[in-house]
Amino acid sequence: MLRPLVLGLLLCAATAHGAVVFSTDFEAGLPDEFTSPGATIEPVQGFAGLGTPGNQFAGSFLRYADGDLFDTALTLTDLPVHDTLTLGFLLAVIDSWDGTELLEVTVDDVVVFSHSFELATADTSSYVPPEDGLLSSGTDLGFSAGAFYQHDRAYDLSVEPAFTDIPHSADSVTIVWRVRAVPGGAASFWQGGADESWAIDDVTVEVSGATTTTTSTTTSTSTTTLPPAGPTTSTPTTTSASTTTLPADECAGVPVGPTFPSIVCRLATELARVQSEHGLGGFQPKLAHTLRQGRDRATEASDLCAANTKRAKGRLKQVERAVIKYAHRLSSTAARRKIDEGLRAAFLEPTGTLRTDVKALREAVLCP
């Protein structure tokens, strides 16, 4: 069973199971970790609501519409010990792409995604997304209007295998989004502006696969030995301790693990904790909403399991995205500035193991 850990252990424990080291939904502007000449933060227009619960276009996104071509780069440093890196984001391909431009994503200069989109006179792409990856196509979702601007596309690239478990162990990473094309005014060139653009939203970076549990992240005296399975007398360093003790009613006897009862109960427990913690300030309703969506999708998955395994897996994918979104909000620059660090860490602590268990349940789908 998960138990409270002192703050010095939180990074270590989270890394062992997978930790979100960066996330942004661009609602607070462009994060300091981004460099993006030529890009602007703009309303998502018709893309709003596309995606799955907890991972949807909303509010604002980063849009690149400059007529010249510059890299949009995300640089992260001081990463915890890890073996793999996973990148997630929503992608908008906007207006009259001609099929001659390549949208490219690199991780430390290694190309992991490079595809063309022909949307001006057709509605095709070299990219074949996995199930649930394509959110919309063949529809005008805003920005320019007219005969050549009716085939906007939206993708959830958090489900793209190329971005999942990328081998990586360095303590820093640079992720780059760019267009490979020739800038110019001709139709086959990159024109930018009202003619063609791209945008990203809900960017998350997660590292996992750490093999060490001996790193302390604070100057206070602490042990980095993970808690034993039995009772513990450890106490947290803040008054709002992180705990996944299940509710006292029907969840009391449910062991923590990759099962439907455990997932539902743990999400319900976290929801109750969030709703009772006023120290979360303005983040409280959004965090509660995300957890409520995750709990509801987990309940639906359990109900669907025996009759329709495929749909149950789909619901569990939504649960996983809700957990990521929850961690995403707590890891945002705005949250780091406005929420007490000990309190924020205490609420983040259960998310790594919870997501691992949801993923394991989705792969095995053991019906109750």
In tens digits, the chain (368 residues) has pLDDT values of: 333 333 333 333 343 346 789 999 999 999 999 999 989 999 999 999 999 877 899 999 999 999 999 999 999 999 999 999 999 999 999 988 988 899 999 999 999 999 999 988 888 999 999 888 999 998 899 887 665 667 899 999 998 999 988 999 999 999 999 999 988 777 778 888 888 999 999 999 999 875 433 232 333 333 323 333 333 333 333 333 333 334 446 787 888 899 999 999 999 999 999 999 999 988 888 888 889 888 988 898 888 888 888 888 888 888 887 888 888 788 877 788 889 999 999 999 888 889 889 888 988 877 76
Max CA distance (Å), the chain: 70
Domains and CATH numbers, the chain: 7-14+246-364 (1.20.140), 19-208 (2.60.120)
Whole-model pTM: value is: 0.59
How many other β-carbons are positioned within 10 Å of the β-carbon of residue 110?
Answer: 10
| Helix (H/G/I), strand (E/B), else coil: 292 | helix
Q: What is the CA 88 to chain-centroid distance, rounded?
A: 5
Q: At what angle do helices 260-276 and 284-304 cross, to 10 degrees?
A: 160
Coil, helix or strand at residue 200:
strand
Nearest to 34 by CA among 67, 76, 65: 76
Note the pLDDT tens digit of each residue in 313-345: 888 888 887 888 888 788 877 788 889 999 999
| Eight-state DSSP code of residue 7 | H
